[in-house]
A and B are shown apart, each in its own frame.
Chain A
Amino acid sequence: MAAPTDNSAPLLQVSGLTKLYGPRTGCAGVSFDLYRGEVLGIVGESGSGKSTLLSSLAGQQRPDRGSILWQGQDVLSLPETGRRRLMRSDWAYVHQNPRDGLRMGVSAGANIGERLMALGARHYGGIRASALDWLARVEIDAARIDDRPSAFSGGMQQRLQIARNLVTGPKLVFMDEPTGGLDVSVQARLLDLLRGLVRDLGLSVIIVTHDLAVARLLADRLMVMKDGRVVEEGLTDQVLDDPQHAYTQLLVSSVLQV
């Protein structure tokens, strides 16, 4: 599970990223490199700055300090057009609540096709074929292609959101608690699916979760956050099996054992 090192240049280089909310700290001084095909987990309790960090990285809000380099290019100085293009070509964002990431008023097929059409696909048959292909890959019955997501279960909506994001073949996917709000068996299936997709497509992923089991299953590397700062960082197994920081020890020991 070690990070692949064949591509020596990191995809994403983050340094000194800081986001303040007035006098309060959202996240502060976060630095890391992300390599191709690597899954980085960000764990921590509620309010530790995980989601702030993720949305600052993904360009949903502007960080106050620090820099983000995508394949060597400064993302924060990109014009809005470039940023939007990046967000729907090389990057993808999977929301915790699928209703935030899906367009609920149009069919599943249109949801999957939207990113393609935004990038200039103008062949209906081609768009539909990719939609069918992706429905199959996320294990949704092809017959549901013309149904609206509002007719889908929570787990199906989340899988549809993943299909919609991955259809353009992004290199980096941001995920905010992708299994939040799903029951355990649906979670397990989704995690299985995600793990398969990440491995098959060689995706780089930054995944925010408070669920250490999810982190253990998916992430190659972990960052543990507390009060907006990274308190511990390392390979997932190393962090979870031999936590060094007092807070990480607390976090690991508070996982319920069945």
Chain B
Amino acid sequence: MELKTPLYDVHVAAGGKIVPFAGYLLPVQYKSGVIAEHMAVREKCGLFDVSHMGEVMFTGPTALASLNHMLTNDFTNMTVGRVRYSVMCHENGGCVDDLIVYKFGEEKYLVVVNAANRHKDVAHMKEHVLDGTTIEDISDSIAQLALQGPKAPEIMAKLLPEESIPKKYYTAIEEVYIKDLKCMISRTGYTGELGYEIYTAAENGAKLWEILMEAGGEYGLIPCGLGARDTLRLEAAMPLYGHEMDDVITPLEAGLDFGVKLNKPEFIGRDAMLAAGTPQKARVGLEVTGRGIIREHQPVFIDDVEVGITTSGTHCPYLGKAIAMAYVPADKADLGTLAEVEVRGRRIEAKIVELPFYKRS
């Protein structure tokens, strides 16, 4: 049976079309539809309920060492109030999940993981954690909202004093009060747009949603569902677990080198990645030049030979064209390479283009 987030009733009342996703009942879209919601985030602002995400606390004298052992990024020089992206790998180098890590103290870190992987992640963490670190899955007690779009800073400025709003990308403030609600706020997101993610106690979720919607009304803020969340992240070429990465794809193959610190003395998956050497396949962007829309799991042909497979694809509202991501052999990944993708028995022409498809100017 699917779970409801603390905002379920809010979504139903707002006309959300509810679908099951990662074990939760969540809105795929509201009345305005995916395109309008996507455009609101690019041009004004959108509000997402992302309470399904998993939150895991790491505390104790070895918390840092545990993170450095389990995760691919290096957290050694991280200062309090910073946020860092990382991958968590298996010994074989494949991805357990991708996640972000918040540092709130020398012995206190918050790890935010994908909803669909939460139980797998926590089991993996418990298996590999070092003595002296306590792991606590606090997901069920947390509501998380994402306020995303160029108007997000103006909306936050109505609700918080300047010193309570994180200024830099990937920074956070652990304790702020929006009205009388205690929140944690970070300048992060999954849309390729400027914005914030705001965490509060589950029982405050609906109230926080109401406060943000009211403050954002004059800026054109609308509620956005999972549909727009997916088209936005795809346009920004952000990888999604289960699509661009999984238990056998390594983060290097996924093009996530920036989050993999092979020069760290040790972490799970490092040996396998070093042994594998330069990745033989590459994640590429495809732009449809023919007619049609590419989706996931469709075969990619170059010079009439099947060489790869798509991992995500859609029609992108802001760019106004169909795009996809795919894995192809590294020696066939040059920009401008012409390809064909087989869609329901028909081949659609596409070409390899630079990632991300969309970058905020």
Partners in one complex: no
List chain B positions with a Cβ less than 8 A from chain A: none
Give me the interface of A with B, judged by CB distance under 8 Å.
Answer: none
